[in-house]
Amino acid sequence: MALKNIFYYLCGIVFLALAKLKNVLMGYSSPKPFDVSEAEKCIDYDIGVVDHWLRQLADYTKGEYSIVGKSVLELGPGSDLGIGLYLVSKGCSQYNACDVNNLVATVPESFYDKFLARLAATSAEVDIPALAEQLKNARTGQPSKLRYVVRDDFNIVSAFGRSSIDLVFSQAAFEHFDDIEATVSQLSEVCKPGAVLVIEIDLMTHSRWIREKDPNNIYRYPGYIYNMFWFRGIPNRVRPLQYKAAFERFGWTDITITPLRKIEDREQAYSGMAKDFTDGESQMEYLTVMLCARKQ
């Protein structure tokens, strides 16, 4: 085990250095492990993510929540507006999204044509021309049911206003945010009382090869080493119970954290971790989690 830990410790340093170098040379890169030019895969991904959120929402609210007529906020939407299109096609009155990186600017129109064709093929009830109009408005900066905001300060209160949101979704984005306390505090302001939040958080190492071999690799390093490789968007290493504490502090209740992916062998999950991640509170066996909560 000791040799294995040394091996992964050294490998991880190389991956952290490469990630930093890539960020310096190319900026924040496409979050999907495939390019939007692979349109059908991206469409499958977006639809899969929303369907998964909706199943989690139904479980959390015991089927008593409808998204129809709701104002939705997605944080860190990634590389295209497919998720917004799909949510509006399902009856959300407004889709809002906020990011610090403008990743959707370069999406070709043909991607959305394919997305709309998929929606037309899978549901006769969707008003495709109306949806296309909303998309066109969004892409030309006109008022639209699809509102995509890029703000370097990630200030969602300034972006969307107080008490304007019924439902919050996010996928594999919270682990990139600079300041979880500030984001949760602002979420409490933009959400209406009773608003529901469904977010999936990817706690794993993000670099591709090492992610599958050593999913907890980023937790092997003390803060002073990890911070040497810091760039905006590097995983923040916030653990599930720290998210829970932040949501509790800012007025959220009924907080559930469900592990979606785990390391079954607890000893393996903790082996070689830096001191900050060795107590049971760190829940190092959790690799990805779904956090649901309700605003008081």
Ligand X SMILES: C[S@@+](CC[C@H](N)C(=O)[O-])C[C@H]1O[C@@H](n2cnc3c(N)ncnc32)[C@H](O)[C@@H]1O
Q: Is 99 in the site for ligand X (CB under 6 A)?
A: yes
The phi, psi pair for 262, rounded to 5°, reads: -135, 160
* Whole-Å CA distances, 43 to 29, 38, 84, 124, 134: 19, 9, 12, 18, 18
Q: Is 84 in the site for ligand X (CB under 6 A)?
A: no
Contact with ligand X (CB under 6 A) among 32, 136, 211, 262: 32
In 3D, which of 286, 191, 192 has the Cα closest to residue 243?
286
| β-pair type (165-171, 146-150) | unpaired
Burial degree of 29 (CB within 10 A; 0-12, 13-18, 19+): middle
Q: Is 213 in the site for ligand X (CB under 6 A)?
A: no
The phi, psi pair for 279, rounded to 5°, reads: -85, 160
Q: Token pair of 139, please?
A: 């892409």
CB of 176 to ligand X, least distance (A): 4
CB of 179 to ligand X, least distance (A): 9
Size of the site for ligand X (CB under 6 A): 20
Q: Is 172 in the site for ligand X (CB under 6 A)?
A: yes
287: enclosing H helix or E strand: strand 286-295
Q: Is 166 in the site for ligand X (CB under 6 A)?
A: no
**Closer to ligand X at the Cβ: 3 or 105?**
105
Residue nearest to ligand X (CB): 78
CB of 182 to ligand X, least distance (A): 10
Q: Is 103 in the site for ligand X (CB under 6 A)?
A: yes
Q: Which residues bind ligand X (CB under 6 A)?
A: 28, 31-32, 49, 76-78, 99-101, 103, 154, 171-173, 176-178, 232-233
